[in-house]
Amino acid sequence: MGLECQGRLFGGCLSVLSNLVGTPNLPSDLSGHVLFFEDTGESAPRLLRYWRQWLDSGLLKGVNAVVFGRFTEMGSMAEADSWVVTELAARTPCPVFSSRDFGHVTPNVPLAIGAQAEIKHDRLLWNLDR
């Protein structure tokens, strides 16, 4: 039996959302949420800088979990997944999961911002009715 987490979904493209940190266009309190991020065409050092911005801003305080989707155009899929797990997850103060189900390429399962999400047995589930 794996770790279980729940909370409201919020997230999207890491580079785009990072440009909104510190502005009124991004919620200032994401505690209790399950965050999800993906990106494409960004180098590893740039992704680390974006993630450092999220860490330094305090936006990850109280976050229940982070799910990293696909980070494309940074090498092979296996290299990208391995890099995300070892580099970004090691710096993250909450449980971290990865998924190949969302990103900038197919398959791209839509994630509903604000939906109640649950991570059970390493699977991300969400419900629009709650």
Residue matched to tokens 């589930």: 125
Read off the pTM.
0.88
For every residue of 58-108, DSSP letters joined together read TTTTT--EEEEEEEESSS-HHHHHHHIIIIIGGG-SS-EEE-SS-SSSSS-
Q: What is the mean pLDDT of the chain?
A: 87
Percent of the chain with pLDDT over 90: 49
| CATH superfamily for domain 5-127 | LD-carboxypeptidase A C-terminal domain-like (3.50.30.60)
Instruction: Name the residue ranges covered by the structural domains of the chain.
Output: 5-127
> According to the model, what pLDDT value does residue 73 have?
80
Whether the per-residue pLDDT at 43 is higher than 70: the answer is: yes
pLDDT class for 128, splitting at 50, 70, 90? Answer: low
Confidence (pLDDT) at 15: 96
Tell me how far apart the alpha carbons of residues 40 and 23 are, in angstroms, rounded to a whole number.
23
pLDDT in tens, 44-70: 888 999 999 999 999 999 999 999 988
pLDDT 10s digits, 62-98: 999 999 988 888 766 667 667 777 888 899 999 998 8
